[in-house]
Amino acid sequence: MSRAAVRYAKAILDLAKQQNVSDAVFADMQTIKETVAESKDLRDMLESPLVKPEIKKSALKAVFAKSNTITQGLFDVLIDNKRVQKLADVALSFIALYEQDKGSQVAVVTTAVPLTEALEKETLAKVKELTGKDAALESIVDETIIGGFVLRIGDLEYNASVAGQLAGLKRSFNDTSYVE
């Protein structure tokens, strides 16, 4: 998750707490996360530079018509700041911050293929070992990471994906100066 997504999520959580609607906004964020994850068309629309901001805004407000006014305002802010493609990351960050605020934590693990039940238990045990706390596990399948996994707990991220390793290798090649 990007720092920008975490900043937006913190701001939305603070505002929701001030207005005593954090539970409603939490439900909205869960709906957003699930809807964006399930709809390739929605993801493509959010990421497309060809789709006009007004169309993105009206589409989001139509798809999430029953959401809280704070959530609706988030759409406006993200579109105005040209960050609407970060909507799912903001939702994930909000969920993690909300859970942390309530005294629990969510570990989000992204893999190229679905986790088996045994791997889920092993992951939860490792999270407890690392943080000293129990966690709820949220599993996301993203084939673009090729293999391995990405584990996020709150603001911490451990990237053991093949795509992450390839990106690191590419950076190291680009950073090396060749001497002839």
In the chain, which segments carry CATH 1.10.520.20?
A: 3-97
What is the C-alpha separation between 26 and 85, in angstroms, rounded?
19
Helix H or strand E encompassing 151: strand 149-153
Query: Which tokens sit at 3?
Result: 């720092």
Mean pLDDT of 130-140: 82
Q: Cα angle vertex 111, ends 96, 38, to 5°?
A: 70
pLDDT(14) > 70 = yes
Mean pLDDT of 84-112: 86
Mean pLDDT of 8-23: 93
pLDDT(163) > 90 = no
pLDDT(176) > 70 = no
Radius of gyration for the alpha carbons in the chain, expressed in angstroms and rounded: 18
Identify the burial level of 118 via C-beta atoms within 10 angstroms of its C-beta, where 0-12 means exposed, 13-18 middle and 19 or more buried.
exposed
Is pLDDT larger for residue 175 or for residue 1?
Answer: 175
pLDDT(177) > 60 = no
pLDDT(104) > 90 = no
Check: CB of residue 141 under 8 Å from CB of residue 114: yes
pLDDT digits (tens, 9 = 90+) for 38-50: 889 999 999 999 9
Mean pLDDT of 133-149: 85
Closest CA relative to residue 97, chosen from 5, 20, 35? 5
Task: Provide CATH code, domain 3-97.
Answer: 1.10.520.20
Model confidence band, residue 35 (pLDDT cutoffs 50, 70, 90)? very high
CA 98 vs. chain centroid, Å, equals: 13
pLDDT(142) > 80 = yes
The mean of the pLDDT values for the chain is 87
Reduce the DSSP state of residue 153 to 3 states and report it: strand
Map 87-111 to HEC letters.
HHHHHHHHHHHHHHHCCCCEEEEEE
What is the C-alpha separation between 52 and 26, in angstroms, rounded?
28
Mean pLDDT of 86-115: 86
